[in-house]
Structure 1
């Protein structure tokens, strides 16, 4: 659904109106100087499904139609029409671009300026393409997140299996160590008896038994320490594996959030003579603003600019206020 405000005094053309749908509305603004239609335009209007309204404008002054079309646009926005329908201004007058920028800056409302009704489908296609691209990008982000989560779960599962195997290995080693110590004790007793019988000296037997026991205990303790260190290393690996995917997932999530929030950044336009005059509050027409901008760009001397502005506005007080606003732009040009 869309509303088209046609500056017929500027375009003298309604081509493309028959291609609009029954949900669209066309408001044609015309004056006494632009009140005729060609037979082709008349045929297109008869074939059109869109709702068509006509607004006659009293052309009593310069840019009279532009002012009344802009006022009508403000009424539509005040009635919340922009919440449900796309708004278009159909005109080749570049002054309407400042109207579009005003509403986008003040209220975030998009008003598209097109030179004819035939240009409107291109604008809609570009907007649809942007929406499809954003949708596809979000889908890819979600799919990547799901894959990452799956990989993380698989990695943690493998680490858990490795931990179980290490614990089993530790239990087996502890059993072997206990058996080794028990055998060492039996061997020590046998060695003591043999030493007492062969040498006849109990003291020598005790020394031999003590050396054997110490040797076995050292070997067993070395084996236990090595196994414990191996187990700790496996557990550290498991913890690192568990932490690293979680950290990567958080980092990717932050990047995804930034991508979602970076939906369309609009650069703040550089101030121009026209925009400064439009925002100044001085009562100036769109055409007057445009001509003053041309004067400033053409002449460098302040007195020359002042004379031309006086000649244009025919109001010395207003010309003085305008001169104060445009002086900074004259200095930039001089540089």
Structure 2
């Protein structure tokens, strides 16, 4: 029996060593989470405008085009829970922060990252931001690169970094996502229907929890004399027309109620804005790099108006655009 145990251990040991080495190699590959955390560690004291949210703001707002010192801390599938955790992580460093920019879209108040098809992203906040999951059920995968992705994908990432010396960062210096360029544009017809279907959630427990987190963010901002610009992102008609109107209306009503209650909250709905044409979109619910330039200019102009005002409930232009 003793000999058998020794043989098993000798068989397992090389596998464990390889796994540990691979985990270490994977963690040393530069990525956007690691970059954004490092940037905020060094620069959160000097940021005037903080952009948070999901891929809609990650690809849609380019801080390099804005007058104020702005950083885009949004990311793909980033929910309100992690927006709040990022704010809280740098609680003592927002000395110059004037405005938080946060998209509240069709899906923003529904669902959690841990419950989604992209739950593997939870480990990126754990490993690279040092932010623990909001899930009460611990999952070892949330602390491992090796256990989260398939072996073939991990091997490909190691080859890309250490053999091909490829750049693995997908964001700009100020956190804007650079991948969605006009020359890679996807079909706007099919992507609209698929995205609307993918973004439909029905879990009211998640809805109530997300509304609570949004209120926490707004209250934090109010107590720290920070204004909050909430907005609904521009989208192409094939996405808008495929949305569940009741689902969308419930979300917009929450935002309207916050705007009415809190003097530091401003809201604008670009969902049906006719200024954004097919040529501005990468797919039906994301702007491409040219659309992002256009949208960033609108956001920047709006922020200029907000900064000139004392805390106000609403600017004249900030009205909801109904879904057709």
- Scaled by the length of structure 1, the TM-score of the pair is 0.20
Higher-Rg member (1/2): 1
Higher relative contact order (CA 8 A, sep 6+): 2
State TM-score, norm by structure 2.
Answer: 0.21
